Amino acid sequence: MPTLDALATRFPEIPPSVMLKIDLLRRGVRMGLAPVGTRHYHHHDEQGQKPVDPRAHIQGSVMLPDGTTVFVAHNPASPYVIEADPDTGRIRLREGERDEFITELMPGPRFGWTAARTAQQTPMAAVFSQSLGGTCGPLAIFLLRYCEFTKNDEECRFCSWVRMGKSHEVRPNAADLREALGAIWAEQESIGYLAFSGGSLFNRTKEADAFLLYMDAARETGLRLPTTVAAIQALDRPDSARLRGAGFDYACYSMEVWDDAAWQAVLPGKARSVGRAHWMACLSDAAEEFGPGRVLCNFLAGVETAVPGLYRSPQAAADATLEGMRWCYEQGVYPKWAVWIVSGGAVFSSHDPAPLEYYAHLIAGRRQLYAEYGLPVPATDCRHCLTQSCEGDLAVLDPARYAIGAAAMCDWDHHHPVARVVN
Ligand code: SF4
Protein backbone atom coordinates (compact mmCIF):
# COMPACT_ATOMS: atom_id res chain seq x y z
CA MET A 1 0.00 0.00 0.00
CA PRO A 2 2.43 2.69 -1.18
CA THR A 3 0.03 5.62 -0.61
CA LEU A 4 -0.66 4.62 2.99
CA ASP A 5 3.07 4.02 3.59
CA ALA A 6 3.91 7.49 2.28
CA LEU A 7 1.25 9.04 4.51
CA ALA A 8 2.60 7.18 7.54
CA THR A 9 6.00 8.75 6.92
CA ARG A 10 4.52 12.23 6.58
CA PHE A 11 2.14 11.95 9.51
CA PRO A 12 3.86 9.62 12.02
CA GLU A 13 1.48 10.73 14.81
CA ILE A 14 -1.47 9.00 13.13
CA PRO A 15 -1.53 5.24 13.77
CA PRO A 16 -1.43 3.20 10.51
CA SER A 17 -4.63 1.33 11.50
CA VAL A 18 -6.48 4.66 11.58
CA MET A 19 -5.32 5.55 8.08
CA LEU A 20 -6.30 2.06 6.88
CA LYS A 21 -9.74 2.57 8.44
CA ILE A 22 -10.18 5.85 6.58
CA ASP A 23 -9.11 4.27 3.30
CA LEU A 24 -11.53 1.36 3.79
CA LEU A 25 -14.34 3.81 4.49
CA ARG A 26 -13.71 6.18 1.63
CA ARG A 27 -13.16 3.44 -0.97
CA GLY A 28 -15.51 0.75 0.41
CA VAL A 29 -14.79 -2.96 0.07
CA ARG A 30 -15.76 -5.74 -2.25
CA MET A 31 -17.70 -8.22 -0.18
CA GLY A 32 -16.85 -11.81 -0.98
CA LEU A 33 -18.76 -14.65 0.63
CA ALA A 34 -17.28 -13.99 4.05
CA PRO A 35 -19.80 -13.93 6.93
CA VAL A 36 -19.65 -10.16 7.41
CA GLY A 37 -22.57 -7.76 7.81
CA THR A 38 -26.31 -8.34 7.65
CA ARG A 39 -29.18 -7.46 5.32
CA HIS A 40 -29.78 -3.73 5.27
CA TYR A 41 -33.05 -2.28 3.94
CA HIS A 42 -31.96 0.95 2.31
CA HIS A 43 -35.44 2.21 1.87
CA HIS A 44 -36.64 0.69 5.11
CA ASP A 45 -39.42 -1.35 3.67
CA GLU A 46 -39.21 -4.65 1.91
CA GLN A 47 -41.19 -3.90 -1.21
CA GLY A 48 -39.36 -0.68 -1.99
CA GLN A 49 -35.91 -2.15 -2.60
CA LYS A 50 -34.44 -1.90 -6.06
CA PRO A 51 -33.25 -5.23 -7.43
CA VAL A 52 -29.51 -4.59 -7.33
CA ASP A 53 -26.50 -6.83 -6.66
CA PRO A 54 -27.53 -8.49 -3.34
CA ARG A 55 -24.15 -7.55 -1.87
CA ALA A 56 -25.20 -3.88 -2.13
CA HIS A 57 -27.73 -4.57 0.62
CA ILE A 58 -25.17 -5.99 3.06
CA GLN A 59 -23.77 -3.65 5.72
CA GLY A 60 -21.89 -4.22 8.91
CA SER A 61 -18.50 -3.81 10.51
CA VAL A 62 -15.17 -5.53 10.87
CA MET A 63 -12.53 -5.15 13.55
CA LEU A 64 -8.82 -4.74 12.78
CA PRO A 65 -6.44 -6.70 15.05
CA ASP A 66 -5.86 -3.68 17.33
CA GLY A 67 -9.60 -3.23 17.96
CA THR A 68 -10.24 -0.47 15.40
CA THR A 69 -13.83 -1.03 14.22
CA VAL A 70 -14.71 -0.15 10.64
CA PHE A 71 -18.08 0.17 8.92
CA VAL A 72 -18.15 -1.85 5.70
CA ALA A 73 -20.42 -1.61 2.68
CA HIS A 74 -20.01 -3.10 -0.78
CA ASN A 75 -18.37 -1.06 -3.52
CA PRO A 76 -17.77 -3.08 -6.70
CA ALA A 77 -14.98 -0.68 -7.73
CA SER A 78 -13.00 -0.95 -4.47
CA PRO A 79 -9.46 -2.37 -4.55
CA TYR A 80 -10.11 -3.98 -1.14
CA VAL A 81 -11.62 -7.45 -0.85
CA ILE A 82 -12.96 -9.11 2.29
CA GLU A 83 -12.91 -12.89 1.99
CA ALA A 84 -12.92 -16.04 4.04
CA ASP A 85 -9.86 -18.28 3.87
CA PRO A 86 -11.20 -21.48 2.25
CA ASP A 87 -9.08 -23.70 4.55
CA THR A 88 -9.41 -22.01 7.93
CA GLY A 89 -12.59 -19.94 7.48
CA ARG A 90 -10.75 -16.94 8.94
CA ILE A 91 -11.67 -13.55 7.55
CA ARG A 92 -8.97 -11.56 5.82
CA LEU A 93 -8.51 -8.33 3.93
CA ARG A 94 -6.70 -8.28 0.60
CA GLU A 95 -5.91 -5.42 -1.68
CA GLY A 96 -7.19 -6.69 -4.99
CA GLU A 97 -5.04 -4.67 -7.37
CA ARG A 98 -1.85 -6.23 -6.07
CA ASP A 99 -3.51 -9.28 -4.52
CA GLU A 100 -1.70 -8.32 -1.35
CA PHE A 101 -2.67 -9.76 2.04
CA ILE A 102 -3.27 -6.79 4.36
CA THR A 103 -4.54 -8.21 7.65
CA GLU A 104 -6.87 -10.64 9.32
CA LEU A 105 -10.22 -9.26 10.45
CA MET A 106 -12.83 -10.06 13.06
CA PRO A 107 -16.41 -9.81 11.78
CA GLY A 108 -18.61 -7.36 13.67
CA PRO A 109 -21.83 -8.45 15.38
CA ARG A 110 -24.56 -10.16 13.35
CA PHE A 111 -27.71 -10.26 15.42
CA GLY A 112 -30.37 -12.92 14.85
CA TRP A 113 -33.22 -10.38 14.98
CA THR A 114 -32.01 -8.88 11.68
CA ALA A 115 -33.27 -12.04 9.95
CA ALA A 116 -36.55 -12.29 11.93
CA ARG A 117 -40.02 -11.01 11.05
CA THR A 118 -42.77 -9.49 13.12
CA ALA A 119 -46.22 -11.08 13.47
CA GLN A 120 -47.29 -8.94 10.49
CA GLN A 121 -44.40 -10.47 8.49
CA THR A 122 -42.39 -7.23 8.39
CA PRO A 123 -38.64 -7.86 8.47
CA MET A 124 -37.43 -6.47 11.80
CA ALA A 125 -34.38 -5.11 9.96
CA ALA A 126 -36.76 -2.94 7.92
CA VAL A 127 -38.05 -1.40 11.17
CA PHE A 128 -34.72 -0.93 12.97
CA SER A 129 -31.26 -0.78 11.39
CA GLN A 130 -28.18 -1.99 13.18
CA SER A 131 -26.70 1.51 13.17
CA LEU A 132 -23.46 1.53 11.17
CA GLY A 133 -22.62 -1.99 12.39
CA GLY A 134 -21.74 -0.67 15.86
CA THR A 135 -20.52 -3.37 18.21
CA CYS A 136 -22.61 -2.31 21.22
CA GLY A 137 -25.82 -2.85 19.25
CA PRO A 138 -26.88 0.74 18.49
CA LEU A 139 -30.09 1.13 16.52
CA ALA A 140 -31.53 3.57 14.01
CA ILE A 141 -35.16 3.87 13.00
CA PHE A 142 -36.34 5.83 9.96
CA LEU A 143 -39.63 7.54 10.71
CA LEU A 144 -40.20 8.96 7.24
CA ARG A 145 -39.20 6.83 4.26
CA TYR A 146 -39.45 9.74 1.89
CA CYS A 147 -37.53 12.97 1.40
CA GLU A 148 -39.23 16.04 -0.05
CA PHE A 149 -35.89 17.26 -1.40
CA THR A 150 -36.03 14.60 -4.12
CA LYS A 151 -39.05 16.23 -5.77
CA ASN A 152 -36.97 18.90 -7.50
CA ASP A 153 -33.65 17.00 -7.48
CA GLU A 154 -32.56 18.94 -4.41
CA GLU A 155 -31.38 15.96 -2.38
CA CYS A 156 -28.07 16.15 -0.55
CA ARG A 157 -25.40 15.29 -3.11
CA PHE A 158 -23.91 12.45 -1.04
CA CYS A 159 -27.23 10.74 -0.34
CA SER A 160 -27.83 7.42 -2.04
CA TRP A 161 -30.70 6.45 0.20
CA VAL A 162 -33.30 8.26 -1.89
CA ARG A 163 -32.25 6.44 -5.07
CA MET A 164 -32.09 2.92 -3.68
CA GLY A 165 -35.80 2.41 -4.09
CA LYS A 166 -39.17 3.89 -3.29
CA SER A 167 -40.95 3.03 -0.09
CA HIS A 168 -44.49 1.76 -0.13
CA GLU A 169 -44.88 2.29 3.60
CA VAL A 170 -44.08 5.91 4.31
CA ARG A 171 -43.92 5.39 8.07
CA PRO A 172 -43.01 2.38 10.21
CA ASN A 173 -45.87 0.49 11.79
CA ALA A 174 -46.05 1.20 15.55
CA ALA A 175 -47.01 -2.40 16.41
CA ASP A 176 -43.97 -3.63 14.44
CA LEU A 177 -41.83 -1.14 16.34
CA ARG A 178 -43.00 -2.43 19.73
CA GLU A 179 -42.53 -6.07 18.78
CA ALA A 180 -39.11 -5.56 17.16
CA LEU A 181 -37.81 -3.49 20.07
CA GLY A 182 -38.82 -6.22 22.50
CA ALA A 183 -37.05 -8.86 20.41
CA ILE A 184 -33.90 -6.73 20.18
CA TRP A 185 -33.71 -6.16 23.93
CA ALA A 186 -34.26 -9.88 24.52
CA GLU A 187 -31.43 -10.83 22.21
CA GLN A 188 -28.85 -8.08 22.64
CA GLU A 189 -29.48 -7.24 26.30
CA SER A 190 -27.92 -3.86 25.50
CA ILE A 191 -28.57 -1.13 22.95
CA GLY A 192 -25.72 1.36 22.52
CA TYR A 193 -28.13 4.14 21.57
CA LEU A 194 -31.35 4.62 19.63
CA ALA A 195 -31.31 7.17 16.81
CA PHE A 196 -34.56 8.40 15.30
CA SER A 197 -34.12 9.73 11.77
CA GLY A 198 -35.79 9.91 8.37
CA GLY A 199 -36.22 11.95 5.22
CA SER A 200 -36.85 15.69 5.29
CA LEU A 201 -39.93 17.85 4.81
CA PHE A 202 -40.12 21.55 4.05
CA ASN A 203 -42.56 21.75 6.96
CA ARG A 204 -40.11 20.99 9.80
CA THR A 205 -42.76 21.12 12.52
CA LYS A 206 -44.57 18.31 10.72
CA GLU A 207 -41.27 16.46 10.40
CA ALA A 208 -40.82 16.81 14.17
CA ASP A 209 -44.36 15.56 14.92
CA ALA A 210 -43.39 12.02 13.94
CA PHE A 211 -40.47 12.06 16.36
CA LEU A 212 -42.82 12.72 19.26
CA LEU A 213 -45.32 10.13 18.05
CA TYR A 214 -42.73 7.37 17.79
CA MET A 215 -41.03 8.32 21.04
CA ASP A 216 -44.43 7.74 22.66
CA ALA A 217 -44.74 4.38 20.87
CA ALA A 218 -41.29 3.36 22.14
CA ARG A 219 -42.23 4.40 25.69
CA GLU A 220 -45.50 2.48 25.51
CA THR A 221 -43.52 -0.74 25.17
CA GLY A 222 -42.67 -0.32 28.85
CA LEU A 223 -39.12 -1.33 27.94
CA ARG A 224 -36.09 0.59 29.15
CA LEU A 225 -35.00 3.13 26.56
CA PRO A 226 -31.32 3.52 25.76
CA THR A 227 -29.79 6.94 25.11
CA THR A 228 -31.96 8.53 22.43
CA VAL A 229 -31.02 10.99 19.71
CA ALA A 230 -33.24 12.80 17.24
CA ALA A 231 -31.36 13.25 13.97
CA ILE A 232 -33.54 15.72 12.11
CA GLN A 233 -33.37 18.98 10.21
CA ALA A 234 -32.52 21.95 12.43
CA LEU A 235 -35.71 22.96 14.26
CA ASP A 236 -36.84 26.33 15.50
CA ARG A 237 -36.65 26.82 19.26
CA PRO A 238 -40.27 25.81 20.08
CA ASP A 239 -39.86 22.53 18.20
CA SER A 240 -36.48 21.88 19.81
CA ALA A 241 -38.21 22.38 23.16
CA ARG A 242 -40.86 19.84 22.12
CA LEU A 243 -38.15 17.26 21.35
CA ARG A 244 -36.49 17.87 24.70
CA GLY A 245 -39.87 17.73 26.45
CA ALA A 246 -40.62 14.40 24.79
CA GLY A 247 -37.52 12.97 26.45
CA PHE A 248 -34.90 12.91 23.70
CA ASP A 249 -31.44 12.94 25.29
CA TYR A 250 -29.74 14.47 22.27
CA ALA A 251 -30.71 16.32 19.09
CA CYS A 252 -28.48 16.13 16.03
CA TYR A 253 -28.83 18.96 13.49
CA SER A 254 -26.06 18.19 11.02
CA MET A 255 -24.54 20.95 8.93
CA GLU A 256 -22.50 18.35 6.96
CA VAL A 257 -20.36 21.09 5.36
CA TRP A 258 -19.31 24.47 6.67
CA ASP A 259 -18.94 27.21 4.03
CA ASP A 260 -21.94 28.80 2.40
CA ALA A 261 -20.67 27.89 -1.10
CA ALA A 262 -20.41 24.26 0.02
CA TRP A 263 -23.97 24.42 1.34
CA GLN A 264 -25.25 25.60 -2.03
CA ALA A 265 -23.35 22.89 -3.91
CA VAL A 266 -23.81 19.94 -1.54
CA LEU A 267 -27.08 20.66 0.29
CA PRO A 268 -29.47 22.37 -2.12
CA GLY A 269 -32.56 21.06 -0.30
CA LYS A 270 -31.40 22.14 3.15
CA ALA A 271 -30.19 25.45 1.74
CA ARG A 272 -33.71 26.19 0.46
CA SER A 273 -35.59 24.63 3.37
CA VAL A 274 -33.72 26.33 6.20
CA GLY A 275 -30.58 28.02 4.90
CA ARG A 276 -27.18 28.00 6.55
CA ALA A 277 -27.60 31.11 8.74
CA HIS A 278 -30.97 29.97 10.09
CA TRP A 279 -29.61 26.44 10.63
CA MET A 280 -26.85 27.91 12.78
CA ALA A 281 -29.35 29.98 14.78
CA CYS A 282 -31.40 26.81 15.37
CA LEU A 283 -28.27 25.00 16.61
CA SER A 284 -27.49 27.77 19.11
CA ASP A 285 -31.09 27.91 20.34
CA ALA A 286 -31.26 24.12 20.67
CA ALA A 287 -28.06 24.08 22.74
CA GLU A 288 -29.85 26.35 25.22
CA GLU A 289 -32.91 24.08 25.27
CA PHE A 290 -30.98 20.80 25.61
CA GLY A 291 -27.96 22.08 27.52
CA PRO A 292 -24.26 22.17 26.62
CA GLY A 293 -23.03 19.13 24.70
CA ARG A 294 -26.54 17.75 24.22
CA VAL A 295 -26.91 19.02 20.67
CA LEU A 296 -24.74 17.35 18.05
CA CYS A 297 -23.72 18.55 14.61
CA ASN A 298 -22.16 16.15 12.14
CA PHE A 299 -19.78 17.10 9.35
CA LEU A 300 -19.53 14.68 6.46
CA ALA A 301 -15.81 15.15 6.26
CA GLY A 302 -14.40 15.18 2.77
CA VAL A 303 -17.54 15.75 0.71
CA GLU A 304 -16.67 19.44 0.39
CA THR A 305 -13.56 18.48 -1.64
CA ALA A 306 -15.92 17.30 -4.40
CA VAL A 307 -17.04 20.87 -5.13
CA PRO A 308 -14.93 22.04 -8.08
CA GLY A 309 -12.67 25.00 -7.36
CA LEU A 310 -13.93 25.59 -3.81
CA TYR A 311 -10.73 24.86 -1.89
CA ARG A 312 -7.19 25.34 -3.14
CA SER A 313 -5.84 22.30 -1.25
CA PRO A 314 -6.97 19.36 0.92
CA GLN A 315 -5.63 21.26 3.93
CA ALA A 316 -7.76 24.31 3.10
CA ALA A 317 -10.86 22.09 2.93
CA ALA A 318 -9.99 20.43 6.26
CA ASP A 319 -9.39 23.86 7.81
CA ALA A 320 -12.90 24.96 6.74
CA THR A 321 -14.50 21.94 8.42
CA LEU A 322 -12.42 22.53 11.54
CA GLU A 323 -13.63 26.13 11.59
CA GLY A 324 -17.17 24.75 11.63
CA MET A 325 -16.30 22.44 14.52
CA ARG A 326 -14.80 25.34 16.45
CA TRP A 327 -17.97 27.38 15.90
CA CYS A 328 -19.99 24.47 17.28
CA TYR A 329 -17.86 24.29 20.43
CA GLU A 330 -18.32 28.03 20.97
CA GLN A 331 -22.11 27.48 20.98
CA GLY A 332 -22.01 24.46 23.32
CA VAL A 333 -22.81 22.18 20.37
CA TYR A 334 -20.78 18.95 20.16
CA PRO A 335 -19.18 18.58 16.70
CA LYS A 336 -18.97 15.15 15.17
CA TRP A 337 -17.59 13.93 11.89
CA ALA A 338 -17.84 10.92 9.63
CA VAL A 339 -15.74 9.96 6.63
CA TRP A 340 -17.53 10.67 3.34
CA ILE A 341 -18.31 7.36 1.66
CA VAL A 342 -18.83 7.77 -2.07
CA SER A 343 -22.12 5.94 -2.45
CA GLY A 344 -23.61 4.43 -5.57
CA GLY A 345 -26.75 6.23 -6.70
CA ALA A 346 -25.81 9.57 -5.10
CA VAL A 347 -25.44 12.64 -7.31
CA PHE A 348 -21.75 12.68 -6.32
CA SER A 349 -21.33 8.93 -6.91
CA SER A 350 -18.80 9.38 -9.73
CA HIS A 351 -16.54 11.74 -7.74
CA ASP A 352 -13.23 10.67 -6.29
CA PRO A 353 -13.21 10.32 -2.51
CA ALA A 354 -11.41 12.99 -0.49
CA PRO A 355 -7.62 12.53 -0.42
CA LEU A 356 -6.06 10.82 2.60
CA GLU A 357 -4.04 13.96 3.17
CA TYR A 358 -7.30 15.79 3.89
CA TYR A 359 -8.06 13.40 6.76
CA ALA A 360 -4.52 13.65 8.13
CA HIS A 361 -4.97 17.43 8.46
CA LEU A 362 -8.48 17.04 9.86
CA ILE A 363 -7.29 14.64 12.56
CA ALA A 364 -4.46 16.96 13.61
CA GLY A 365 -6.89 19.88 13.92
CA ARG A 366 -9.50 17.79 15.74
CA ARG A 367 -6.87 16.83 18.29
CA GLN A 368 -6.21 20.51 18.87
CA LEU A 369 -9.91 21.18 19.46
CA TYR A 370 -10.06 18.36 22.00
CA ALA A 371 -7.31 20.07 23.92
CA GLU A 372 -9.04 23.45 23.86
CA TYR A 373 -12.63 22.55 24.70
CA GLY A 374 -13.95 20.45 27.54
CA LEU A 375 -17.44 19.68 26.26
CA PRO A 376 -18.19 16.10 27.36
CA VAL A 377 -18.14 13.30 24.80
CA PRO A 378 -21.77 12.32 24.10
CA ALA A 379 -23.16 9.09 25.47
CA THR A 380 -23.85 7.95 21.90
CA ASP A 381 -20.12 7.75 21.18
CA CYS A 382 -17.96 4.75 21.84
CA ARG A 383 -14.91 3.45 20.05
CA HIS A 384 -16.73 0.33 18.86
CA CYS A 385 -19.77 2.23 17.61
CA LEU A 386 -17.92 5.13 15.96
CA THR A 387 -17.35 2.94 12.92
CA GLN A 388 -17.35 5.85 10.46
CA SER A 389 -15.03 8.27 12.27
CA CYS A 390 -11.76 7.89 14.14
CA GLU A 391 -12.51 9.85 17.32
CA GLY A 392 -12.40 6.92 19.69
CA ASP A 393 -9.60 5.08 17.90
CA LEU A 394 -7.17 7.94 18.22
CA ALA A 395 -8.00 8.51 21.85
CA VAL A 396 -7.36 4.85 22.66
CA LEU A 397 -4.45 4.17 20.34
CA ASP A 398 -2.56 7.35 20.90
CA PRO A 399 -3.57 8.58 24.37
CA ALA A 400 -0.40 10.50 25.13
CA ARG A 401 -0.69 12.67 22.07
CA TYR A 402 -4.39 12.65 21.28
CA ALA A 403 -6.58 12.03 24.27
CA ILE A 404 -6.31 15.43 25.83
CA GLY A 405 -9.23 17.69 26.67
CA ALA A 406 -12.64 16.00 26.61
CA ALA A 407 -11.29 12.84 24.96
CA ALA A 408 -9.15 12.06 28.00
CA MET A 409 -12.22 11.96 30.24
CA CYS A 410 -14.03 9.43 28.11
CA ASP A 411 -13.67 5.75 28.82
CA TRP A 412 -13.95 4.88 25.14
CA ASP A 413 -13.55 1.14 25.51
CA HIS A 414 -16.38 0.80 28.03
CA HIS A 415 -18.72 3.65 27.17
CA HIS A 416 -21.62 1.31 26.37
CA PRO A 417 -22.47 -2.02 27.93
CA VAL A 418 -21.54 -4.74 25.47
CA ALA A 419 -24.33 -6.25 23.45
CA ARG A 420 -24.68 -10.02 23.55
CA VAL A 421 -23.57 -11.36 20.18
CA VAL A 422 -24.23 -14.77 18.76
CA ASN A 423 -22.43 -14.73 15.41
S1 SF4 B 1 -32.20 15.22 3.93
FE2 SF4 B 1 -30.49 14.78 2.58
S3 SF4 B 1 -29.46 12.99 3.53
FE4 SF4 B 1 -31.53 13.13 4.41
S5 SF4 B 1 -32.79 11.78 3.12
FE6 SF4 B 1 -33.00 13.87 2.31
S7 SF4 B 1 -31.47 13.98 0.72
FE8 SF4 B 1 -30.93 12.21 1.98
pLDDT in tens, the chain (423 residues): 656 777 778 888 888 999 999 999 999 999 877 888 888 887 666 666 666 677 778 889 999 999 999 999 888 888 999 999 888 889 999 987 678 899 999 999 999 999 999 999 999 999 999 999 999 999 999 998 889 998 899 999 999 876 666 666 778 899 999 999 999 999 999 999 999 999 999 999 999 999 999 999 999 999 999 999 999 999 999 999 999 999 999 999 999 999 999 999 999 999 999 999 999 999 999 999 999 999 999 999 999 999 999 999 999 999 999 999 999 999 999 999 999 998 777 889 889 999 999 999 999 999 999 999 999 999 999 999 999 999 999 988 888 877 788 888 888 887 888 898 765
Atom of ligand 1 nearest to the CA of 161: 8
Give the integer Cα–Cα distance in Å for 181 and 196: 13
Cβ of 111 closer than 6 Å to ligand 1, yes or no, is: no
DSSP summary character for residue 49: B
List C-alpha distances in Å: 118 to 92, 189, 237: 35, 19, 37
Contact 270, 200 (CB under 8 A): yes
- Number of neighbouring beta carbons within 10 Å of residue 291: 11
Ligand 1 centre to CA of 279 (Å) is: 15
Cβ of 147 closer than 6 Å to ligand 1, yes or no, is: yes
Ligand 1 centre to CA of 233 (Å) is: 9
- Number of neighbouring beta carbons within 10 Å of residue 17: 18
Give the side-chain half-sphere CA count within 13 A for 10: 14
Atom of ligand 1 nearest to the CA of 150: 7
Atom of ligand 1 nearest to the CA of 199: 5
**CA nearest ligand 1 atom 5, residue:** 199
Q: Distance from CA of residue 38 to its chain's centroid?
A: 16
Atom of ligand 1 nearest to the CA of 159: 8
Give pLDDT, residue 50. 63
Give pLDDT, residue 35. 87
Instruction: Report helix angle 356-372 to 16-27, nearest 10.
Output: 120
Write the DSSP assignment of 105-166 as a string of letters: EEE----GGGG-B-TT--BHHHHEEEGGG-TT--EEEES-S--GGGTTT-S-TT--GGGSB-
Cβ of 155 closer than 6 Å to ligand 1, yes or no, is: yes
Ligand 1 centre to CA of 199 (Å) is: 6
Give the integer Cα–Cα distance in Å for 184 and 174: 15
Contact 287, 262 (CB under 8 A): no
Cβ of 159 closer than 6 Å to ligand 1, yes or no, is: yes
Give the integer Cα–Cα distance in Å for 84 and 144: 37
Among 149, 257, 266, which is best to mutate for testing ligand 1, by the most ligand atoms less than 8 A from CB? 149
Phi, psi of 253 (to 5 degrees): -110, 95
**CA nearest ligand 1 atom 4, residue:** 199
Among 142, 155, 203, which is best to mutate for testing ligand 1, by the most ligand atoms less than 8 A from CB? 155
Helix locations, 189-275, DSSP H: 204-220, 237-246, 260-266, 268-273
Give pLDDT, residue 51. 63
Domains and CATH numbers, the chain: 118-414 (3.20.20.70)
